[in-house]
Amino acid sequence: MNTSPDHPPQKPTSPQPPTSWRDSFAVYLQRRVLIVLLLGFSSGLPLALSGSTLLVWMTESGVDLRTIGLFALVGTPYTLKFLWAPLVDAIHVPLFTRAFGRRRGWLLFSQLLLIIAILLLALTDPARSPLFVALGALLVAATSSTQDIVVDAFRVESLPESEQAAGMASYVAAYRIGMLVSTAGALFIVTGFESGGLPRPQAWMWGYVVMAAMVLIGTVTALVATEPEQSARAEAATGSETAFARVLHAATGAFSEFLGRPHAWAALAFVVLFKFTDAFSGTMTAPFVIDLGFTRNDYAAIVKGVGLAATLIGGFAGGFVARRYSLAASLWIGGVLQAVANLSFSWLALSGVNEWALAFAITMENFTSAIGTVIFVAYLSALCRNPLHTATQYALLTALAAVGRTYLSSGAGYVAQATGWPLFFAVCVLVAIPSLILLSWLQRRGHFDALGPVKV
């Protein structure tokens, strides 16, 4: 057909159907936020398979409690993923990069490895070979954290500033749903297989096989998505460099580019402290509820039911806040809300065994924490705008953010024992003050204005 200006193309007389299911699905997934949502599910799915769900499997298999306790160490790759993030930024995966692009190639490669790792873990026997279970779980954690690195970079680079907050809300909500599927969902599936007549070891094996198959949701999404334009430009700019040079530039550039910004050290301190109030109280929430007189079934039912609903609603509320207000104002709202919400636990401590008070406290904690998380992730994304090392910078920032959760919160038990529960949660409000002081300091110096708007 002649498509020159003098002969415009003729409009078809009837709509033409998509040529294949892939074309139809690709049209549906053109919305970048929906793609991020589905990738968020894929990121959240594997976490419990090497964590809480695996511990249930080991407990039912009669593994010694001391051995089970040591399995907390298999989560180490999630805290050290920044060490190999430069490889994700710089190295080409044979066949995958050429066929799908820089980010999508790594995404599909990491998901393939993740499926294999989950299947290998499914073939282990906790009762006979805890060491092989540990190796399998470590492999799942390593491949899962690699997928997280790529998904974070893909999300930051593919979403324009106008869609970052909506993408954050979708990502956080889908991540939580993925975690729920691999915990409660996986346990229901194992129970179903066992009820169908399978012995318990085989029921667990097939339960993990089903979880491995669910990773394909992210794989299909990656196949129909398009390579971020920023990543494609960065790939073209560094295509002539050697692999070693690209890795070196990604590793050193991530540090030097960030530290060369005004007030970089204050921004890094803010990254460490912003979620500290959440982490400090969250460390003691479960012991507090049990110590108060509730059963673990009461706690589990409310957390999985009311808590999950509050998290999902709070995630999208965080997206709304980021849409309505500037980044600095949104951080103020999220920071204050997640701090003040701790007072609901002080009220619960004074109320005693009151299921309504527990439901209210859990709701407030999850709702405000989700708001703060969405806005905080939007801020981290705004800090990582150089496509040459997006994955490396984001992995470094999230590792710093984990410092408060992993190390600074380790003394929460001592504080709770010294103060008692009502006063402890009041202290949790006060530990938010340093981050709010830094927020004010950075705002007055134009730090957030320099990042540009992060709004929907």
Instruction: Output the pLDDT for position 15.
Output: 42
Q: How many CB atoms lie within 10 A of CB 113?
A: 17
Fold of 248-451: Growth Hormone; Chain: A; (1.20.1250)
Task: Find the mean pLDDT for residues 199-226.
Answer: 92
The Cα–Cα gap between 161 and 455 comes to 6
pLDDT in tens, 19-51: 555 554 444 444 677 888 889 999 999 988 887
What whole-number distance in Å separates Cα of residue 360 and Cα of residue 302? Answer: 10
Cβ neighbours, 10 Å, residue 4: 7
> What residues have CB less than 8 Å from 86, skipping those under 6 apart?
247, 250, 251, 254, 389, 391, 392
pLDDT digits (tens, 9 = 90+) for 156-206: 787 776 666 667 677 877 887 888 788 778 888 888 898 888 898 899 999
Least confident of 4-13, 54-63, 232-241: 4-13
What whole-number percentage of the chain has pLDDT above 70?
Answer: 79
Mean pLDDT within 51-77: 75
Of the pLDDT bands very low, low, confident and very high (cuts 50, 70, 90), residue 300 is low
Average confidence (pLDDT) over 375-386 = 82
Mean pLDDT of the chain: 80
Model confidence at 436: pLDDT above 60? yes
3-state secondary structure the chain: CCCCCCCCCCCCCCCCCCCCHHHHHHHHCCCHHHHHHHHHHHHHCCHHHHCHHHHHHHHHCCCCHHHHHHHHHHHHHHHHHHHCHHHHHHCCCCCHHHHHCHHHHHHHHHHHHHHHHHHHHHCCCCCCCHHHHHHHHHHHHHHHHHHHHHHHHHHHHHCCHHHHHHHHHHHHHHHHHHHHHHHHHHHHHHHHHHHCCCCHHHHHHHHHHHHHHHCHHHHHHHHHCCCCHHHHHHHHHHCCCCHHHHHHHHHHHHHHHHHCCCCHHHHHHHHHHCCHHHHHHHHHHHHHHHHHCCCHHHHHHHHHHHHHHHHHHHHHHHHHHHHHCCHHHHHHHHHHHHHHCCHHHHHHHHHCCCHHHHHHHHHHHHHHHHHHHHHHHHHHHHHCCCCCCHHHHHHHHHHHHHHHHHCHHHHHHHHHHHHCHHHHHHHHHHCCHHHHHHHHHHHHCCHHHHHCCCCC
Greater confidence (37 vs 253) lies with 37
Window from 4-8, 72-76, 133-137, 181-185 with minimum mean pLDDT: 4-8
Report the pLDDT value the prediction gives residue 292, as an integer from 0 to 100: 82
Which residues touch 452 (CB under 8 Å, ≥6 apart)?
161, 382
| Mean predicted confidence (pLDDT) in 82-97 | 84
State the average pLDDT over residues 319-341. Answer: 90
Percent of the chain whose pLDDT exceeds 90:
25
For the chain, which residues make up each domain, given as ranges? Answer: 21-240, 248-451
* Domain 21-240, architecture per CATH: Up-down Bundle (1.20)
pLDDT of residue 25: 46
Interval 393-413 mean pLDDT: 74
| Position 7 confidence tier, pLDDT thresholds 50, 70, 90 | very low
Rounded CA gap, 291 and 295, in Å? 9
Distance of CA 6 to the CA centre of its chain: 53
Q: What per-residue confidence (pLDDT) applies to 117?
A: 96
For helices 433-444 and 276-292, the axis angle rounded to 10 degrees is 160
The pLDDT score that the predictor gives to residue 4 is: 43
With cut-offs at 50, 70 and 90, classify the pLDDT of residue 3: very low
- Report pLDDT for 103: 87
pTM: 0.67
Residue with tokens 């004074």: 350
Q: Residue 437 — very low, low, confident or very high, per pLDDT cuts 50/70/90?
A: very high
Instruction: Sort residue 420 into left (φ over 0), alpha (ψ -120 to 50) or beta.
Output: left
pLDDT at residue number 12: 42
Encoding tokens for residue 211?
């979880």
- Amino acid of residue 163: E
More confident site: 83 or 239: 83
pLDDT band, residue 1 (cuts 50/70/90): very low
Q: Do the Cβ atoms of 85 and 149 come closer than 8 Å?
A: yes
Same fold yes or no, 21-240 and 248-451: yes
